[in-house]
Structure 1
Amino acid sequence: MARHHPEVDDWFDRYENPQRELVLAVREAILDADDRVTEVIKWQAPTFVYKGNIASFYPKTRTHASLMFHRGASLPDPDGLLEGEGDVSRVARFVDADDLAAKRDALQELIRAWITVQDGA
């Protein structure tokens, strides 16, 4: 069961974007990945945390849902979900509900990989 933070709920109540429902669905997928993941508003956007910042939405993207993994370059990504060439961050993009459904398992595995790394396992 997802744990919604009231501050993030309030942010979504004001969020006007054609991808709002998709962004909400990505939120649920992330929070459902592990009970230890929480959410806050940082950088004026929903951010998912567990012993540090995992990922934040790009709220102004209007053609898809975009999620920046702050240290995505260091995460195992066997499914190739993450895009980017930088030394630190990576981006996951979801174009619609079907795309999210196809990528949901890979997204949740990235969240779990972050937790594993943070716990030193």
Structure 2
Amino acid sequence: MFNKGRNILCKTKLNSNLYVKMMSYFKCEIFSEKLILKLKSGNIGPMKKSSTKLSDTEQVTAHIKNLEPSLQKVIEAIRKSILSSDKEIGERIKWNNPSFYYTGEMKEFDPKEFKRELIIMNLFKNRIMLVFPSGAKVNDKSGLLEGDYKDGRRITVFKDIEDFRAKEKQLKKVIKDWLKLIEK
């Protein structure tokens, strides 16, 4: 074990080329064998922050690529359908999941009301849940939106690509109806 100031480097190998750097405040980082020499010598400082931040769309794409492959196809189909519903729908990672929101001009509102938020995806192993934070405002006669939550949200669940394709027209209608209710 090497002690360089507050950093303690363990010689423990995770596999053939990865080591663990233990910090005195219990933070672990995994480094390649090339960096281990710098760590041992103490000639490594904090990592520089990237000067280029990924765009919201790039962040969503990267997030989806890290998910289970069986869900990626369904998520991409849902994503494409939502974004093609209207040019003023944007995407980003919010609450650690892909979310979709209205990008156009709106009247002022309390941010706690989430009036800009259209859909937040909640991802599970065997299903994808879409949460509509203000879904109660939409008069959904198709039965796509489920639940009767006090905060006004509604949900819909897709089990697989076939389930999504069967409900895609209703989803687009709900999105169009929601967009009509926006106070501009």
TM-score, length-normalised on structure 2? 0.59
Partner of residue 31, structure 1: 83
Shift of 1:32: 1.3
* Cα deviation digits, residues 56-106 of structure 1 (max 9, x gap): 0102x1111111011111112111101111121111111122211111111
3-state DSSP class of the match of 1:81?
A: coil
Residue type at the aligned position of 2:154? R
**Residue of structure 2 aligned with 1:50, choices 99, 102, 106:** 102
User: Which of 120, 133, 136 is equivalent to 1:73?
Assistant: 136
Q: How does 1:1-121 map to 2 (within 5 A)?
A: 5-16=57-68, 18-50=70-102, 52-59=116-123, 61-87=124-150, 88-119=152-183
Letter in 2 for 1:25: A
Larger Rg: 2
Helix, strand or coil for the counterpart of 1:83? coil
The answer for unaligned runs of 5 or more in structure 2 is: 1-55, 104-115
Q: Does the Cα contact within 8 Å between 1:47 and 1:55 map onto a contact in 2?
A: yes
Contact 1:17 1:62 in 2 (8 A): no
Alpha-carbon distance in structure 1 between the residues aligned to 2:68 and 2:126? 13
State the superposition RMSD in angstroms.
Answer: 1.6
Kindly, what percent of the aligned residue pairs are identical? 28
More helix by percentage:
1
Return the structure number with greater strand share: 2
Q: Which amino acid aligns with 1:78?
A: K
Give TM-score scaled by structure 1 length.
0.87
The answer to whether the 8 Å contact 2:64/2:75 transfers is: no
Higher relative contact order (CA 8 A, sep 6+): 1
SS in 1 for 2:141: coil
Unaligned runs of 5+ in 1: none
- Partner residue of 2:44? none
Deviations 1:28-81 (A, max 9, x none): 11111111111011101111000500010102x111111101111111211110
